[in-house]
Amino acid sequence: MGEWIQTEIKRYMAGPENSMEKWGDEPAWAEPLVGFSSGADPLYMFYKKDIGDFYILPHEFMKHKYRREYDPSQLTVISWILPQTEATKQDHRKETHFPSERWARSRIFGEQVNVKLRKHVVEILEQNGYDAVGPMISPIWKGATSEKYGFASTWSERHAAYAAGLGTFGLSDALITPKGKAMRSGSVIVDAVIPPTSRPYENHNEYCLFLMDGTCGKCIERCPIGAITEKGHNKVLCRKYVNMTRQYVPKHYGFDGYGCGFCQTGVPCESGIPKKE
Ligand code: B12
Ligand code: SF4
Ligand code: SF4
């Protein structure tokens, strides 16, 4: 079943829905990575405890949609990584203050593709007799503030991807995956048991050169507002900067959009797991 889902996600992303909505049929995303974690993985309970009580567990999302109880061990969280394309990364590396058009398009039209993919995965699973829910398209997903981590929400796509063996967190907070951290992610929960993908790491910061060895720190230099320091990522400054681009994007590219993500391009972990020098 895992293979079927993986093939279906890749097939959908190779089709016409994966679009920048400009430049002919240019895709918004490169080929996805897919991983699985169990709904009973102790990490999910850890997230609720560590991030905040508002965090919603996989079986709670299912219960809300179908109005019945689920055994967490009979659920699987399907996670995917949508890597930025070479064209987007190339354009964005050159920028230092405002998002390139491709980056801003992947934020808006690319996230619309991500939403359609969540809906598509739910739909094919339901058609095949399974219950399924996309946390980010569930009415109970919302933003929230964590006492420990500041801006957060009731479901974090990156934490699900971490549980599914798809990557570890870096100094900038972004998830570094085998296809790098220039990416967006998504997930869907299903009432089926799919063998979990193994996690080839023990530590949640294992792929970040700075957090493991004190080297690199290139994302600190890439951030135009000093939101990343040796102490980590300042989300308040970051959000301010990202919001500031809401004027630039419509004025220069002609659509309602925004974005920043300089810390995700032009850095050693942009397109893969960085190697020690
Ligand atoms: C709120 C939010 C923001 C906030 C706060 C970001 C944040 N760090 O949480 C602001 C406005 C600042 C923001 C900015 C951006 N965002 Co945003 N945002 C979200 C959103 C909606 C929710 C995130 C959330 O719930 N976080 C929960 C908190 C707890 O996460 P955290 O603080 O990072 O978690 C730390 C702890 O858990 C800690 N930790 C401590 N002990 C342990 C132990 C273990 C075992 C683990 C696993 C972790 C852990 O490590 C983590 C990282 O340091 C998600 C969508 C989603 N639902 O996931 C997108 C999301 C995080 N954003 C995304 C993107 C792309 C961006 C921007 C690049 C904007 C843009 N598009 O141009 C910037 C980049 C900021 C950055 N440096 O990463 C992507 C991230 C992709 C990636 N490569 O990692 C997401 C996942 C959207 C998506 N669908 O892909 N965002
Ligand atoms: S650029 Fe370097 S310091 Fe920053 S997250 Fe990537 S590996 Fe870590
Ligand atoms: S998204 Fe932009 S403002 Fe936020 S940390 Fe990255 S480079 Fe800095």
- The per-residue pLDDT for range 1-58, each reduced to its tens digit, is 999 999 999 999 999 999 999 999 899 999 999 999 999 999 999 999 999 999 999 9
**Phi, psi (5° rounding) for residue 174?**
-65, 155
- Contact between residue 152 and residue 93 where contact means Cβ atoms under 8 Å apart: no
| Predicted pLDDT at 95 | 96
Tens-place pLDDT, residues 142-201: 999 999 999 999 999 999 999 999 999 999 999 999 999 999 999 999 999 999 999 999
**What separation in angstroms does the CA of 145 have from each of 8, 58, 151, 153?**
35, 20, 5, 7
**Any ligand 2 atom below 6 A from CB of 208:** yes
Q: How confident is the model at residue 267 (pLDDT cuts 50, 70, 90)?
A: very high
pLDDT bracket for residue 277 (50, 70, 90) = confident
Predicted confidence (pLDDT) per residue in 114-154, tens digit: 999 999 999 999 999 999 999 999 999 999 999 999 999 99
> Between the CA of residue 191 and those of 44, 65, 136, 244, what are the distances in Å?
16, 12, 17, 41
pLDDT at residue 182 in the model: 98
120, two tokens = 């598509």
CA nearest ligand 1 atom 50, residue: 169
Q: How far apart are CA 244 and CA 228, in angstroms?
A: 17
Instruction: Tell me which residues have their CB closer than 6 angstroms to ligand 1.
Output: 51, 107, 136, 146, 149, 151-153, 155-159, 162, 169, 172-175, 181, 183-186, 204, 233, 235, 238-239, 242, 259-261, 263-264
Query: Which whole-number Å values give the CA distances from 252 to 96, 126, 178, 195, in the listed order?
Result: 16, 42, 33, 47
pLDDT tens sequence across 63-73: 999 999 999 99
| CA dist., res. 34 & res. 32, Å (int) | 6
Is the CB of 180 inside a 6 Å radius of any atom of ligand 2? no
Residue 276 or 155, more confident: 155
Measured CA to CA, the distance from residue 101 to residue 227 in angstroms comes to 22
State the closest ligand 2 atom to the C-alpha of 270, by its place in the atom list counted from 1: 6
Looking at residue 276, its pLDDT comes to 83
Length of the chain: 277
Q: What value does the mean pLDDT take over residues 70-82?
A: 98
Query: How far is 157 from 107, CA to CA, in rounded Å?
Result: 15
Angle, in degrees to the nearest 10, between helices 111-127 and 2-13? 140
pLDDT tens for each residue of 201-259: 999 999 999 999 999 999 999 999 999 999 999 999 999 999 999 999 999 999 999 99
